[in-house]
Structure 1
């Protein structure tokens, strides 16, 4: 960085946010960063919402804290309750943080694909973690197996509570009143496209609810995984957790969007590597999927279009997968040389897109 650039950067910094009481109050108000290097076109404005800046490291901090707070205020749970939930990783971290803050016991059910980093963070925050290693024998799905264990634990644990992130209205509400409101207000309601990765569809549903409630003309692009069953897709092999789902959820059923883009595990890797190479943004797998979806649709956008992309988490938990050349070659069949060529290329990704 030269001195001129450094001075310009320093002078454009916003004022520090006001002090807050308690870590949960620090959730939200994440950076919205203009990306001026990612696309070939300089007539399209793109902003990335960096949800890794939340204290627990992901967008799931928002609904995790909201679900626990709402349940406490409604008297559904107390500090004597045991919260039991299924998670692919990030929600578990968010719930562990929220439950630890309120002094509530948490049992989190994950499967063997969950990042070891996230599992360790949950345990460091006091959560008890149960790991499912085999898929449901009927459906062949790990999420179904996790939910079966949740049901078993709820039945055997007195004064227990399932937040049900898959259908709890507090999940999308956290994104409607937080994530999407922040984007909308920062851009003065002037937004043509919003790119949202899907997992349990809480973020997508919340953003949809906000935009529809204000009659915004923003076109919503849902980015789902190949092998996800969320929107009528065919359940298949997915190696990267936290992106897509093996079953449709109550929240996905009620969501709406203008475009649906499906991305593979390799697409996620390429998008993540390109974010690092072009913007020095260290994102997680679904952030990479959002990035390549943006590239796929950019040629169809009118000059002057304004886009926002929600990047759900950071890349630390993916160091052994997305950012490991050996893993990519072993699991995805793409050598380091081939990967470098794909990352450095500026061709339009061959993604499946539709209305």
Structure 2
């Protein structure tokens, strides 16, 4: 197939099947890092710009402003090139340097928030405040505000269509939740096809999406930090369970997947895979379990995949590798986890 523009490369991503021994289940990883911007966010970024242009909020030659940890910004930068728009990304120190470099390479203007923040503190509130301020001051500018933008969730209809076409019946979907756009759009769509599909949303330990106490965390681009509010785009009614995953569980799983399967996944995807396996082995889900590889590990080589970086932050845990060996049917596993996953019914 010969395509005409880079955004035509968005979607139709492959699925990698991983069998789970003796559990009558398979983990189906939809490789969203194969999108041109390297993440699942390419889908909704273009959809938000198209919706803004169609509604008249955004005009030809206008300016797009957004707060982003990187992936949404990359997707918006690509779409801005397609439609001849100027794009300004508002970021903080938590954004991976490689993501910022990609945005710059695509022509985006980068604005950093000011202030003193801890390394494990995400400055989402200040990012959004600055993005809204810039959009109000620049003629022809629109703040995309992905957290409250209905076109965010609407950008995942093709993801659902592709999964149904490739997999058929989906028994469970496990995904990360940040703004809630991907989780809401995918969960809604899957439940239209099969209301019995179990939908499980994974947030970092320290995020406040499901009402747990907030504290700092290192997982980038996912969850809602303390001091911020959960976005209007998140629809709790289509989510069956909300659970938390620790930084160590997420990052060690990402490293495990690289060493054991050759697949580089980002930290938030590591958390999703960890929880999907935990649920499968506790008997809470089975059959066709779908999860998205939201982005690739290539953007986190100096953090998630750096042992020295992890060691300095006390995030190395070899017991997680032993547990994963067991879940994948390796001989090094010696006992099952003593506690079931912490579930928060919604």
The answer as to whether partners of 1:194 and 1:219 remain within 8 angstroms in 2 is yes
- Tell me the secondary structure at the aligned position of residue 148 of structure 2: coil
Q: 1:267 aligns with which of 225, 231, 249?
A: 249
Deviation at 1:25, TM superposition (A): 1.3
Partner of 1:19: 2
- Rounded to whole Å, the distance in 2 between the matches of 1:119 and 1:280 is 26
- Bigger CA drift: 302-311 or 282-291? 302-311
Task: Return closer, same or farther for 1:227/1:19 CA change in 2, 3 Å cut-off.
Answer: same
Structure 1 position 352 matched with structure 2 position 334: no
CA distance in 1, matches of 2:237, 2:140: 32
Tell me whether 71-80 or 26-35 shows the greater mean CA deviation: 71-80
2:199 is matched with which residue? 220
- Residue 48 of structure 2 aligns to a residue whose secondary structure is helix
SS of 1:34's equivalent in the other structure is strand
SS at match of 1:166: helix
The alpha-carbon deviation at position 79 of structure 1 amounts to 2.6
Structure 2 residue 187 is matched with structure 1 residue 197: no
State the alpha-carbon separation in 2 of the partners of residues 333 and 225 from structure 1. Answer: 14
Distance 1:291 1:215, change over 3 A: closer
- Within the candidate set 156, 159, 162, 1:179 is matched to 159
Q: Name 1:35's counterpart in structure 2.
A: 18
Partner residue in 2 for 1:132? 113
CA shift in 2, pair 1:340/1:300, >3 Å: closer
2:86 is the alignment partner of 1:105: yes
Is the Cα contact below 8 Å between 2:175 and 2:183 reproduced in 1?
yes
Quote the offset at 1:88 in angstroms: 1.0
| Residue matched to 1:280 | 262
Mapped pair 1:47 → 2:28:
yes
Structure 1 position 92 matched with structure 2 position 73: yes
Is 1:210 aligned with 2:210? no
In the alignment, is residue 321 of structure 1 matched against residue 303 of structure 2?
yes
TM-score, length-scaled by structure 2: 0.88
Give the aligned CA root-mean-square deviation in angstroms: 2.4
2:55 is the counterpart of 1:74: yes
Post-superposition shift, 1:332? 2.6
In structure 2, relative to structure 1, the CA distance for the partners of 1:20 and 1:259 (3 Å cut) is same
Q: Look up the SS of the partner of 2:313 in the other structure.
A: helix
Q: Quick check: 2:207–2:224 contact (8 Å CA) kept in 1?
A: yes
Shift, 1:191, TM fit = 1.4
Instruction: Could you tell me which runs of 5 or more consecutive residues in structure 1 were left unpaired when the two chains were aligned.
Output: 1-17
Q: CA deviation at 1:174?
A: 1.2
Per the TM alignment, residue 252 of structure 1 is displaced from its structure 2 partner at its CA by 2.2
Give the aligned length: 331
CA distance in 2, matches of 1:168, 1:333: 34
Secondary structure at the residue paired with 1:85?
A: strand
Q: Distance between the aligned counterparts of 1:43 and 1:61, measured in 2?
A: 33
Deviation per residue, 1:189-220 (Å, 9 max, x gap) = x1111111111111110012212333431000
TM-score (ref. length: structure 1)? 0.86
Contact 2:98/2:299, CA 8 A, preserved across alignment = yes
Deviates more, 1:67-76 or 1:217-226: 67-76
Q: Which moved more, 1:259-268 or 1:246-255?
A: 246-255
Alignment-derived partner of residue 157 in structure 1: 138
* Bigger mean CA offset, 250-259 vs 114-123: 250-259
